[in-house]
C-alpha cells in the first residue's frame, strides 16, 4: 500500500512537471523569430552582410524584412534593430536582459575582453569600472580638465596654421589634412586625463609608437571576422586578425606599462603629486570584495587606459571631421554658424566653454552630424542574458543584438527628409543624444551606453566652435562642394574613406596676433 501511494505521488509529480514543460514549450512555439533572409547551410546569412559596410547592407535589407530582423550568422543567432520605435521598446523594456556583451574574437587577445568596460561581461567588474569612470571622468574631472581641453584645442589651431603656411611655402594652396590635427588634439587630451601630460609631441617617441600600434589594432578589430560566427575557425584564424591584433596589442600594452611604471616610481620616491589623474585613481582603488575585486590588476589597468585612449580619441576626432565635411558641402550652413559665433563670441580671440550654451545653431549642427554619421554605426553588440518576448517575437538566450544607429538616424518614420543635412530640425526640438530619445542614439542607451559621452560633448562642441571662429574653410576651387567624397571606412569607428583636405583662411585681420597667444605654457 505504501509503495502504491508512493508510486501514485511520483507519477502525479512527473505528470505535473510534463504539463508545465509542455506549456512552456507551447508558449515559446507560439512566438516566432523575427523575419529575415533565408540562410545557407553552415554559414547561414553570413553572405547577406555583404562587403565591409554591414550597417549599410542591413539598412537596405529592412525595406524587405522590416526594422526588426533575424540573421543566422554561422552558429550565432542575431537580432537586428533598425528603427527608433523598435529601439525604444528594446531599451525601455529589456535593458537588463541585453546588458551582456558579444565580444569579437580579435579583441579577446591579452585578456582585453576581461578588462575593457566596453566589451567585458555584465557583472561586478563592469559595475566597479563604471563607478570609477563616473566618479573621475564625469563628476571630478570634467570641469577640472577645462584648462587641458582649452590648451589641446589651442595647440590644434596652431598646428593647422603651421601646416597651412608650410603648404603655401611649398607652392600649395594651404590645404591641410584635417584628421591629422584632430587626432593629435583628442589623443593628447585623453593623455592629460590619464597621465596629466601630452602623449604625442616632438619629444614623445612612445606616443608615436602607440599611435602606430593603435591604428593597426583598429584595422584588425574593424574587419568582419568569419571566426566570430564559426567558432571552429577561431583556432585557425583564417584571416590572420587574431595574430595581427595579438602583436600590436602587445606593443600598445608595453608602452602603457612604461607610463604606469614611471608613475609608480614617482609614487615610491614620495615626490609631491601636483595633480591627481585617472591613473592614480586606478592604482589607489581599494574595494571590500563585496562587489568586484579589492584591487584592479595591473593588466586590467593597462587595458582600461588603452581602451580610453582608443575610444576617446578615434570617436571624437571622427565626429569633428564629419561635421566639417558636411559644412563644406553646405557653405550656407557654415556661414550661419559663423554669424552666430560672431554675435555671441564677438571679437574675443577664443571661444570659451561658457559660450557653448549660447550657440544653439552650433549645437544643432553637431546633433545633425551625429544623426547621419554616428562614430559606431552598429553599436557594440549586446548579448541576451535570457530569452525575451520582444515586439511579439521570441528572442532566445545568448542571442547577439545589433542596434543599427546609422539606420535609426535615417528612420523615415521618425525623421522628416532623413537623408538631408538640416540642422534646423533641432532648433525647436528637445531631442538630444543622451540615450532617452531613441531616434538619436550615437552613444547608445541604457546601462551600457558610452561612459565618455559628457566629455565627448564638451570636446566636440568647443573644437568645432573654435575651428569655425578662427577659420573660414574652403575646398580647392576645382572641387564643387556637392562632389566631396562621402564614402565611409569602417574600423573600430566610422571614418571618411578619403580623409578631408580643406583650406583654412583666417577670418579676421587680428588672427595673427590672436594665434600668437595660443601656445601657453
pLDDT per residue over 488-518, tens digit each?
Answer: 988 778 999 999 999 999 986 655 455 555 5
**CB-hemisphere CA count at 13 Å for 474?**
12
Residue tagged 588672427 (cell numbers): 511
Confirm if 369 and 500 have CB atoms less than 8 A apart: no
356 Cβ contact partners less than 8 Å away, ≥ 6 residues apart: 362, 363, 458, 461, 462, 465
Neighbouring-strand partners of residue 394: 389
Q: Give the tens place of pLDDT for each residue, 271-324.
A: 555 567 888 889 888 876 666 677 899 999 999 999 998 888 989 999 999 999
Task: Count CB-CB contacts under 10 A for residue 422.
Answer: 17
Please, which pLDDT band fits residue 267 given cuts at 50, 70 and 90?
confident
CB-CB contact of 248 with 217 (8 Å): yes
Binding site residue list: 450
**pLDDT given at position 416:** 96
* Closest to 156 measured CA to CA, from 367, 354, 388, 320: 320
Res. 162 pLDDT band, cuts 50 70 90? very high
Closest CA to 190 of 334, 307, 80, 83: 307
- More confident site: 423 or 277: 423
Which residues does the annotation place in the binding site for heme? 450
What pLDDT is stored for residue 25 in this prediction? 40
Among 57-66, 129-138, 396-405, whose mean pLDDT is lowest? 129-138
The pLDDT value recorded for residue 78 is 98
Q: Which of 443, 460, 215 is nearest to 324 (CA)?
A: 460
User: What CATH class has 42-516?
Assistant: mainly alpha
**Cα–Cα distance measured from residue 477 to residue 503, given in angstroms and rounded to the nearest whole number:** 10
pLDDT band at 91 (very low <50, low <70, confident <90, very high): very high
Looking at the predicted structure, is the pLDDT value of residue 26 above 70? no
DSSP 192: H
Say what the pLDDT of residue 86 is: 98
pLDDT tens profile 436-485: 999 999 999 999 999 989 899 999 999 999 999 999 999 988 889 999 99
Q: Are strands 400-403 and 76-81 parallel, antiparallel or unpaired?
A: parallel
Query: In the numeric block, which cell numbers belong to residue 455?
Result: 566629455
Segment 343-349 long-range contacts (CB within 8 Å, at least 24 positions apart): 345/465, 345/469, 347/508, 347/510, 349/510, 349/513, 349/514, 349/517
Report whether pLDDT(16) > 60. no
When pLDDT is averaged across residues 389-412 and rounded to a whole number, the result is 98
Amino acid 27: pLDDT? 44
Record the pTM. Answer: 0.89
Q: Lowest mean pLDDT of 281-285, 328-332, 356-360, name the range.
A: 281-285
Whether 140 shows a pLDDT value over 50: the answer reads: yes
CB 343 within 8 A of CB 355: no
**pLDDT recorded at residue 129:** 93
Mean of per-residue pLDDT scores for the chain: 87
Q: Pick 492 or 366 by higher pLDDT.
A: 366
Q: Which residue has the higher pLDDT, 452 or 30?
A: 452
pLDDT of 405 above 90: yes
Question: 48 pLDDT exceeds 50?
Answer: yes
Q: Is the pLDDT of residue 520 over 50?
A: no
Find all residues with CB under 8 Å of 256, minimum gap 6, and list them.
210, 302, 305, 306
* Beta carbons within 8 Å of 94's beta carbon, 6+ residues apart: 388, 390
Of 106-110, 235-239, 244-248, 290-294, the range with the lowest mean pLDDT is: 290-294
Pairing of strands 471-474, 501-506: antiparallel
pLDDT greater than 90 at residue 340: yes
Please tell me the distance from the alpha carbon of residue 321 to that of residue 370, in angstroms, as a whole number. 11
Residue 24 clears pLDDT 50, i.e. is over it = no
Strand partners, 177: 501
Sequence spans of domains, the chain: 42-516
Amino acid at each position: 500500500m505504501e509503495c502504491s501511494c508512493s508510486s501514485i505521488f511520483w507519477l502525479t509529480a512527473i505528470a505535473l512537471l510534463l504539463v508545465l514543460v509542455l506549456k512552456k514549450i507551447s508558449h515559446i512555439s507560439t512566438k516566432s523569430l523575427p523575419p529575415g533572409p533565408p540562410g545557407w547551410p553552415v554559414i547561414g546569412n553570413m553572405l547577406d552582410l555583404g562587403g565591409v559596410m554591414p550597417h549599410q547592407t542591413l539598412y537596405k535589407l529592412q525595406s524587405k524584412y522590416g526594422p526588426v530582423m533575424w540573421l543566422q550568422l554561422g552558429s550565432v543567432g542575431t537580432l537586428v534593430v533598425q528603427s527608433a520605435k523598435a529601439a525604444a521598446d528594446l531599451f525601455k523594456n529589456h535593458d537588463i536582459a541585453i546588458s551582456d556583451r558579444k565580444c569579437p574574437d580579435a579583441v579577446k587577445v591579452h585578456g582585453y575582453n576581461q578588462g575593457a568596460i566596453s566589451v567585458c561581461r555584465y557583472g561586478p567588474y563592469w559595475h566597479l569600472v563604471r563607478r570609477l569612470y563616473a566618479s573621475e571622468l564625469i563628476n571630478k574631472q570634467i570641469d577640472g580638465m577645462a584648462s587641458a581641453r582649452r590648451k589641446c584645442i589651442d595647440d590644434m589651431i596652431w598646428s593647422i596654421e603651421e601646416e597651412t603656411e608650410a603648404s603655401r611655402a611649398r607652392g600649395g594652396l594651404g590645404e591641410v589634412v584635417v584628421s591629422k590635427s584632430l587626432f593629435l588634439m583628442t589623443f593628447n587630451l585623453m593623455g592629460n586625463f590619464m597621465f596629466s601630460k601630452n602623449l604625442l609631441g616632438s619629444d614623445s617617441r612612445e606616443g608615436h609608437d602607440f599611435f602606430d600600434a593603435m591604428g593597426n589594432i583598429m584595422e584588425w578589430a574593424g574587419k568582419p571576422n568569419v571566426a566570430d560566427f564559426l567558432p571552429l575557425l577561431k583556432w585557425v584564424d583564417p584571416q590572420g586578425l587574431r595574430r595581427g591584433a595579438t602583436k600590436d596589442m602587445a606593443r600598445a600594452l608595453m608602452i602603457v606599462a612604461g607610463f604606469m611604471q614611471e608613475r609608480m616610481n614617482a609614487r615610491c620616491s614620495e615626490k609631491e603629486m601636483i595633480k591627481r589623474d585617472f591613473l592614480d585613481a586606478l592604482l589607489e582603488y581599494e574595494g571590500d570584495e563585496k562587489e568586484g575585486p579589492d584591487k584592479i590588476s595591473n593588466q586590467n589597468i593597462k587595458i582600461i587606459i588603452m581602451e580610453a585612449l582608443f575610444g576617446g580619441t578615434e570617436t571624437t576626432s571622427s565626429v569633428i571631421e564629419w561635421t566639417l565635411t558636411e559644412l563644406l558641402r553646405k557653405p550656407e550652413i557654415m556661414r550661419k554658424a559663423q554669424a552666430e559665433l560672431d554675435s555671441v563670441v564677438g571679437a574675443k580671440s577664443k571661444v570659451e566653454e561658457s559660450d557653448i550654451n549660447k550657440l544653439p545653431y552650433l549645437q544643432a549642427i553637431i546633433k545633425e552630424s551625429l544623426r547621419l554619421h554616428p562614430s559606431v554605426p552598429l553599436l557594440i553588440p549586446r548579448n541576451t542574458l535570457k530569452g525575451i518576448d520582444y515586439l511579439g517575437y521570441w528572442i532566445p538566450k545568448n542571442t547577439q543584438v545589433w542596434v543599427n544607429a546609422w539606420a535609426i538616424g535615417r528612420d523615415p518614420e521618425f525623421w522628416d527628409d532623413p537623408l538631408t543635412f538640416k540642422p534646423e530640425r533641432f532648433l525647436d526640438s528637445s531631442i538630444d543624444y543622451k540615450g532617452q530619445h531613441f531616434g538619436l542614439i550615437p552613444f547608445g542607451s541604457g546601462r551600457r551606453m558610452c561612459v565618455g559621452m559628457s566629455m565627448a560633448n564638451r570636446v566636440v562642441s568647443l573644437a568645432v566652435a573654435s575651428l569655425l571662429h578662427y577659420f573660414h574653410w574652403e575646398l580647392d576651387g576645382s572641387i564643387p562642394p556637392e562632389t566631396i567624397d562621402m564614402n565611409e571606412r569602417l574600423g573600430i569607428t566610422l571614418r571618411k574613406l578619403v580623409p578631408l583636405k580643406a583650406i583654412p583662411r583666417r577670418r579676421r585681420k587680428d588672427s595673427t596676433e590672436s594665434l600668437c597667444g595660443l601656445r601657453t605654457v
